[in-house]
Structure 1
């Protein structure tokens, strides 16, 4: 398998390349810089708050930290390199930079998708099975799941070190270097289809089902209202009826209170 950059004739376009206007470059670069700066600062703040504040170290926040790290990786690997690429209209980071940046881009995207999926499953267990959640949705288990997610995606994305490379696009008046594909693009279709199915379609369908179940549980079994309101409403009932159902009401009240407490603990 030969590098396409070794055959400039294959990339010969026989066209005249026209650069973008200065106004377009300045405006688009400033917009990219603003988006990246806001995203980087916001995600760093999320990570620091959770790491510094002890009571913020919950299973839910662990998944949010993992998601913040993945988003931070995408912003730095995809957003920032696009600025000099837009200004100079050519790849300036060399072949090594092309390989590493491409790897980090796909790693951040796939890790983000897996982190959201793990977070959704954790929310489903916490809300729909609050008693089991006290034993399943623990901080140590969340850390192990996050470690597995990053280990799996890190190994899976190694293939992009062998699938990406710099290319030369030869125009009539200039030769432009880009970070692109090492092999013909038609061979990438199965890879992209597999990525799309595993990291996008499956998580989307799973999230839709789980959030539907969460909505159903919350609609059919809402959290109990304020005990004071129950006391006011209960004042109009018959005293004999209260005596007959006293034992059953106490049991249901204890069960509802326990379930509601568990849900509140897992939600917050």
Structure 2
């Protein structure tokens, strides 16, 4: 299982786990927006962590798709340039880029003291974006950064998978020897997994981005209220994507099922082969 593809998938799994760890705090904010009881550091960090992991997942999917494109369309060059050591360096670089891109969010949110509406003599704490973030336009800039992070990779992935599909279709009758057949089968299996992961990613995250843009740009109170309910559903889809990938891997690939069984000590001791 120690292949370059699995290095990417393992790193994406780390990102998914971190996103899921943020889920209880978002559920709390949906249930009780005020008061915020988890302190200033968590208030400022949650947006950074969530967006950073989101960016990381997008970059990982894009990088992995580029690698598969090179391996299928330019196999000889890919064999020379794509090594485990270089992939590990690329993964570390992707994490750095993702976290740096999300780092401004740390200073855009704060634990703000507001007056209690039922008792003006008391104050409560609310985790929200600061007045400076709104007035300076930085919040809107970060909104566009997030949008670009989603739609630009999706455009690139569409082109990449078009080339990959074209190459696999052209080579379907040109396979010679058992090794070539096994390699072709492996390529098709990997592309199938990635295509399903990308599709799940788009289905689960597109409503989240659309809902957020509607909420920011609408001037209608009625539309804003509807978008709030829409965003609740979109948020659930957002977190669903973080938990659905392992299920997809196991449904599609016998290799992953076997590895999962072994990890959980459910496989037979004499089971050795990966099909």
TM-score, length basis structure 1: 0.60
For residue 156 of structure 1, what is the aligned residue in structure 2?
101
For residue 129 of structure 1, what is the aligned residue in structure 2?
74
Q: Indicate how the Cα distance of structure 1 residues 124 and 132 shifts in structure 2: closer, same or farther if over 3 A, else same.
A: same
Counterparts of 1:108 and 1:196, CA distance in 2? 15
For residue 126 of structure 2, what is the aligned residue in structure 1?
178
Post-superposition Cα deviations, 1:77-118, rounded to whole Å, max 9, x if no partner, equal 2x0212443455421111111112222111111111111111
CA contact (8 A) 1:95 1:165 kept: yes
CA contact (8 A) 2:108 2:133 kept: no
Counterparts of 1:167 and 1:211, CA distance in 2? 46
Structure 2: stretches of 5+ with no match in the other structure: 191-275
For residue 39 of structure 1, what is the aligned residue in structure 2?
none
Could you tell me how far 1:158 is from its partner in structure 2? Answer: 2.2
For residue 169 of structure 2, what is the aligned residue in structure 1?
219
Moved more, 179-188 or 107-116: 179-188
Match of 1:140 among 68, 85, 98: 85
Counterparts of 2:25 and 2:90, CA distance in 1? 31
For residue 196 of structure 2, what is the aligned residue in structure 1?
none
Count of residues paired in the alignment: 182
Counterparts of 1:124 and 1:169, CA distance in 2? 53
Match of 2:141 among 173, 190, 194: 190
Counterparts of 2:21 and 2:86, CA distance in 1? 29
For residue 202 of structure 1, what is the aligned residue in structure 2?
152
Counterparts of 1:62 and 1:180, CA distance in 2? 36
Describe the SS at the equivalent of 2:172: coil
Counterparts of 1:59 and 1:201, CA distance in 2? 25
Post-superposition Cα deviations, 1:129-186, rounded to whole Å, max 9, x if no partner, equal 2222212222112111101111222233222221111234545316553321122525
Describe the SS at the equivalent of 2:50: helix
Counterparts of 1:109 and 1:117, CA distance in 2? 13
For residue 96 of structure 1, what is the aligned residue in structure 2?
41
Could you tell me how far 1:195 is from its partner in structure 2? Answer: 2.8
Structure 1: stretches of 5+ with no match in the other structure: 1-55, 226-252
Post-superposition Cα deviations, 1:162-218, rounded to whole Å, max 9, x if no partner, equal 111123454531655332112252512122112311x11211011000001111111
Larger relative contact order (CA 8 Å, sep ≥ 6): 1
What is the alpha-carbon root mean square deviation over aligned residues?
A: 2.5
Counterparts of 1:156 and 1:196, CA distance in 2? 12
TM-score, length basis structure 2: 0.59
Q: Indicate how the Cα distance of structure 1 residues 67 and 94 shifts in structure 2: closer, same or farther if over 3 A, else same.
A: same
Counterparts of 2:32 and 2:117, CA distance in 1? 18
For residue 271 of structure 2, what is the aligned residue in structure 1?
none
Q: Indicate how the Cα distance of structure 1 residues 223 and 126 shifts in structure 2: closer, same or farther if over 3 A, else same.
A: farther
